[in-house]
Amino acid sequence: MNIGVFDSGLGGLSVFREIMTELPQYNYIYLGDNARVPYGGRSSDMIYQFTRDAVNFLFQNDCQLIIIACNTSSAIALQRLQQEYLPQNYRDRRILGVLYPVAEHIADENIQRVGIMATRATVASNRYPKQIKKLAPNTQIFQVACPLLTPMIEEDEMEWEGFDLLLQRYINPLLERKIDGLILGSTHYGLITDRVKKHVPGSVKIISQGEVTAKKLRKYLKRHPEIEMKLAKDSKRIYFATDLNQRFEKLTKLFLGERFSKGVTLHLANI
Ligand code: DGL
C-alpha cells in the first residue's frame, strides 16, 4: 500500500519533498488538483467536494494513508472527511492534515504569540487558532489572509522588489502584535521562507510546514505499527495532476527542487 500526498495544486510538492527526504523508503502517490487551484478563495462546500474527490482517487489507487498537504483543505475538509467519509467508505484507512502537526509544534516550542499567514479560506475557518488553543490554551494568535502571494509565487515573481512590499504589507500588522512565532500556513510559502526572514526580527521563529509535517509523520508511523506494516517500501513515486498544462514542468521544478524533479513525469488524473 502507498502513502498519498494531496494538494490543491503543485505547491504541495514542497511539502512532499520534505516527506521524501525524511522517509524515503515508502511508496508515494502525489496528486495535485492543478485544474482547480487555487482553493483558497472558494466556498467551504466546494473545497470539501474537491478534497473528497481527491481522497477518493488516492484511496482507489491503494493509498493506506493520505497526507493532505494543502492547508485550505486541511482546515475546511479534513475533520468532516475523518468523521463522515472514512467510517462510511474506508474504515481502516487514515487521512492526516498539516494543521495538527504545526499546532503541536507551536505547543512543543512554547511559542506564546503566533502570527499566521494563510489563504482567505484557511483564515476564515479559524481552524489554526482552534487547533493551537486545544494544545496550548494561553497562546495568542493573529491571522492575516494573503491572497496575492500564491499567484505571485506561481508566476515566479519572488525576486521582484514589489514582492517585498507585498510581504511587508502582510507581515507588518503581525509584527505590531509582537509575535514570537510565524506560521507560513500555505503550501506555497515554504518557498519564500528566506524572503520572509528578511522582514522579521531574528527572534521570531518561522514555521514552515513541510519539515514539521514530515517529522510528525515519522512519529505517527512509529505510534501506529498497524498502519506502518501495511506500507510498501520500494521507494516508488507516482505523480498525478488534474491538468497537464504547459506550466507543470516549470512549477514541478520550482516546488520539488532540482534534486527531486529530475525525471518526474506527471500523469493525468480524472477525478
Ligand atoms: N495549497 C493551498 C494551501 O496550502 C494554497 C493554494 C490554494 O489556494 O489552493 O492553503
Alpha helices by DSSP H, listed for 36-98, are 44-60, 71-76, 78-80, 86-89
In this structure, the answer to whether residues 205 and 215 fall within a common structural domain is no
Nearest CA to ligand 1 atom 6: 38
Ligand 1 contacts CB of residue 32 (under 6 A) = no
pTM for the whole structure: 0.95
In this structure, the answer to whether residues 86 and 145 fall within a common structural domain is no
The tens digit of pLDDT for each residue in 75-131 reads: 999 999 999 999 999 999 999 999 999 999 999 999 999 999 999 999 999 999 999
Question: Could you tell me the distance, in angstroms and rounded to a whole number, from the CA of residue 84 to the centre of ligand 1?
Answer: 23
46: its cell numbers: 466546494
Q: How confident is the model at residue 245 (pLDDT cuts 50, 70, 90)?
A: confident
In this structure, the answer to whether residues 199 and 264 fall within a common structural domain is no
Task: Kindly state the DSSP code that residue 231 receives in the 8-state scheme.
Answer: S
Average pLDDT over residues 198-215: 95
The tally of domains found in the chain comes to 2
* Ligand 1 atom nearest to 7, measured from its CA: 1
In this structure, the answer to whether residues 204 and 112 fall within a common structural domain is yes
In this structure, the answer to whether residues 41 and 140 fall within a common structural domain is no
In this structure, the answer to whether residues 82 and 131 fall within a common structural domain is no
Question: Could you tell me the distance, in angstroms and rounded to a whole number, from the CA of residue 225 to the centre of ligand 1?
Answer: 31
> How far is residue 1 from each of residues 20, 25, 186, 221, measured CA to CA in Å?
16, 13, 28, 14
Ligand 1 contacts CB of residue 39 (under 6 A) = yes
In this structure, the answer to whether residues 162 and 175 fall within a common structural domain is yes
In this structure, the answer to whether residues 145 and 198 fall within a common structural domain is yes
Containing structural domain, residue 53: 2-97+211-268
> How far is residue 266 from each of residues 31, 207, 245, 263, measured CA to CA in Å?
9, 29, 10, 10
Place of cell 482546515: 75
The tens digit of pLDDT for each residue in 17-75 reads: 999 999 999 999 999 999 999 999 999 999 999 999 999 999 999 999 999 999 999 99
In this structure, the answer to whether residues 74 and 164 fall within a common structural domain is no
Burial of 246 (0-12, 13-18, 19+ CB in 10 A): exposed
In this structure, the answer to whether residues 200 and 148 fall within a common structural domain is yes
In this structure, the answer to whether residues 149 and 190 fall within a common structural domain is yes
